[in-house]
Amino acid sequence: MDEDHHSEDPMPPAEDELVLSDQPVSLIPKSALAFYPRVGDPLDLLVDPGSGVVIGRSEGFHAKYHHAGLGLIGAIAESADDILESLLGMPVQLDLISPHVLFVAGKRGSGKSYTLGIIAEELARAMERREIEVAAVVIDTVDVFRQCVEPNEDQDSLLRKWNLEARGFPVSVYIPRRTYIGLPDEVKQRARLFPLAISPRELTAADWGYVLERGGTLSTAMDNLIGEVLDSLRRGYVTESGSKVSLKRDFSIKDMIACIETNPTILDLYQPATRTAMIQRLKRADRLGVFHPSGTSAQDLAVAGRITIIDVAPLGSEADTVLAILTNMLCRQVLTYRMAWTDEGTSAREELPPTWLIIDEAHTLVPKSGNTPAKDAIVGYAKLGRRFGCSLVLCTQQPSAVADEAISQADIILSHSLSHEADIRALQQRAPAVMPLKFRDKVFISSLPRGVAIVFDQTTENKRGFITQIRPRISQHGGTDRLSSLFEAVRLMIPSESIGDEGSADLELGEDELEIELEPSQLEKEETVELPVIPRPPLKLSKEDWALLDNWMHEYIEKYFDARMQDITITDESAPRAEASSSNLKWELPRAESGVTASYEPVTIEGMEVCIREFGVLSRTLLEKALTRKILYSETPHEFLFAADNKFRDSIAISRIDMDPKQLVELVIQSLVSSGMTLDSVKSEGGFSYVLLRKDGTRAGLSIGVSGMLACVSVVVTSESKKEAAPLMASVTDLCELERPKPSLIR
């Protein structure tokens, strides 16, 4: 590998920190190897007596780092004519310090996905040893990687032969938002689940083509229309009634539909049938429950020292499209962060760590013929990533169906068993090392046992490839577990129409949909529905675990509407249109019936009353998010904050358990006034009070709420630039950490 690829090494240890061992490496016994044929061609590899065979490194680079940053992926599984030259059983170590492009191939059931899991495990182990500092993101299309949180205890005896011990890894698992919001909190915490969402603003007009139409081909009129919608939202537009809709940095699918319905330019240029067809397609995309203004970013997923698994399997038949869009976004964002900071002469690691992107089923994302939203992004990542410290692992069952531009960048290829002649030929043409005559035999390649692979390493391109037995997994891999059944139960239970764009971490319904959901007959029907018994798949859990999961799967669905009804009403509604008014808002927050221990009198500010809104039992996160979004999307504060066409906005929520809510709101207001803001007005709408302040072109709005003993004040600031808003946000944070100052406006 070229030396310039080491300029962004993932934080290897300093040479003086290395502890070298004089002990020779232990060979893996033959009983642990399923297959070890005799290969006549001589085998000449980089061998470290203390570590084993090393791939992905030059001799000079290995002399610098020795055993540090190596990951055990298998053992040599071929014998030699001369027993003195045989490396049979020698551990095979993959370099994890340098950036690589790996290509893993194999027919279905050959063990290719299993190999991806091995690479992820070794990255996690090297990070725990503090030998590297990287992020690893595994894109899982078939729901087989999520179980690595559990130890592989079923293969304890085999692991001992490899000097390994079963264990699980603390990964973070991102699942589609629609599935996530329907799961009980206990399940989310136990399985380390997080919501996965894609922000509509991340998609280009071409990307929307793939979302809206299978194959990505829209009619000319539809293609022009989606482009017009995106431009209008990003620039702002004036509605048919003359009201101005400000430009939107973050927008939802509902905002896109509203633009089609109210933008006079679109109404004039496009036929009603075209507009209707587009709206229907957007609503269908909305029902996926994965598009949300606050989308998941590369910085959420690529976290130093962490393995992140993106599990899109719950999306079913829609997984390919969402996966392509997500991969496109992830590749572009990672490269952008790494390139921008490197070009500025600053450590890119401060913004985003070196990232290993591990992609299964690559032939669906970067095909040899045709195009997908992810193809150009993956090819670009493969070509540029190594220069900026980023690695790519592509896995496929059809090497012949993957774009040459991607595979040609691979410096390491691992091929499991292949059956189709076209795939075998593609492997032979693209192998970055010499392929012995024995390996060219179709019968030989197609008959490789499961878990055995041929390895080709570019650093030994003048030498031949060799046969490797992939080691057993330390953690669980694949198979159906109880959580998969729970995902399916959620998919069947939650109506697709109930999942909107504007939600917080929980659930949102549109106004019309909310009226439907509040029908007593429907509530009664949902509460009395008889749930089917879900058969137990083979998974090693205790009886207590089974009982707990069964209880979750039955009780949470039966109580779904009661538990979520308050969340529905306090979280999100569509951004108000200009013609809307508080009098025609169709819902009202119910008064709390439990969890409130006191009643609070209004706070008086310059003769104006500020009501303290009481909620039922809510988490801190939900309370803060609910108040913030009420300020952003209720008509009165929304018009005040964005009347000046401010392009920048920021928000902060201050929560206290041990402070009287009156004192908390006084303290926050005082901090803003001390920063030069003046009180504009106090407005009430829908049971909430909003304190509105201004300073030149900068505006601020705040609201106060309590849940039990938890008090929260949320503040939203808008301005023409971040520079103007930053001091105000800092003052709120700083002053709220001090003793309560004497109020000047409050009396």
Under DSSP, the state recorded for 74 is E
**CA dihedral of residues 656, 661, 666, 671 (deg, nearest 10):** 20
**603 vs 556: CA distance, rounded Å:** 39
Q: Let me know: does 654 contact 713? Beta carbons within 8 Å.
A: yes
Question: Which of 668, 670, 682 lies closest to 744 in space, CA to CA?
Answer: 670
45-54: average pLDDT: 91
Q: Which of 111-125, 341-355, 572-586 has the lowest mean pLDDT?
A: 572-586
Number of H helices, E strands in the chain: 25, 24
Residue at token pair 């959620």? 490
pLDDT digits (tens, 9 = 90+) for 125-147: 999 999 998 999 998 877 778 78
Question: Which of 71, 173, 77 lies closest to 115 in space, CA to CA?
Answer: 71
588-735 and 3-197+296-470 share a CATH fold: no
109: left (phi over 0), alpha (psi -120 to 50) or beta: left
Does the pLDDT of residue 183 top 90, yes or no? no
Q: Which of 17-26, 240-249, 417-426, 713-722 has the lowest mean pLDDT?
A: 17-26
667-672: average pLDDT: 88
pLDDT tier for residue 160 given thresholds of 50, 70 and 90: very high
CATH of 588-735, one of 3.40.50, 3.90.550, 3.30.310, 2.10.25: 3.30.310
**659 vs 656: CA distance, rounded Å:** 6
- Quote the pLDDT of residue 592: 35
pLDDT digits (tens, 9 = 90+) for 370-428: 888 888 889 999 988 888 888 999 999 989 989 988 888 899 999 999 988 888 888 88
pLDDT tier for residue 552 given thresholds of 50, 70 and 90: low
Q: Let me know: does 151 contact 167? Beta carbons within 8 Å.
A: yes
pLDDT digits (tens, 9 = 90+) for 710-729: 899 999 999 888 888 888 88
Mean pLDDT over each residue of the chain, to the nearest integer: 78
Instruction: Give me the half-sphere count of Cα atoms (radius 13 Å) on the Cβ side of residue 395.
Output: 26
- The model's pTM is 0.64
Q: What is the 3-state secondary structure (H, E, C) of 180-233?
A: HCCCCHHHHHHCCEEEECECHHHCCHHHHHHHHCCCCCCCHHHHHHHHHHHHHH
242 strand-pairing partners: none
- Quote the pLDDT of residue 566: 43
pLDDT tier for residue 543 given thresholds of 50, 70 and 90: low
Q: Which residue has the higher pLDDT, 658 or 33?
A: 33
Per-domain boundaries in the chain: 3-197+296-470, 482-570, 588-735
614 strand-pairing partners: 706
For 3-197+296-470, CATH gives 3.40.50.300
Query: What is the DSSP annotation of 691-725?
Result: EEEEETTEEEEEEEEEETTEEEEEEEEEESSHHHH
- Quote the pLDDT of residue 511: 31
Q: Which of 13-27, 426-440, 452-466 has the lowest mean pLDDT?
A: 13-27
Query: What is the DSSP annotation of 53-64?
Result: EEES--HHHHHH
pLDDT tier for residue 622 given thresholds of 50, 70 and 90: confident
341-358: average pLDDT: 70
Under DSSP, the state recorded for 675 is T
- Quote the pLDDT of residue 535: 41
- Quote the pLDDT of residue 342: 57
pLDDT digits (tens, 9 = 90+) for 190-220: 788 899 888 898 888 888 888 888 777 888 9
What SS3 state is found at 531?
coil
Does the pLDDT of residue 529 top 50, yes or no? no
Does the pLDDT of residue 696 top 70, yes or no? yes
Does the pLDDT of residue 571 top 60, yes or no? no
Highest mean pLDDT, choosing among 37-46, 116-125, 328-337, 349-358:
116-125
Query: Percent of the chain having pLDDT more than 70?
Result: 77
- Quote the pLDDT of residue 166: 93
600-625: average pLDDT: 83
In this structure, which amino acid lies at residue 268? D
Exposed/middle/buried for residue 493 (C-beta within 10 Å: 0-12, 13-18, 19+): middle
- Quote the pLDDT of residue 549: 60
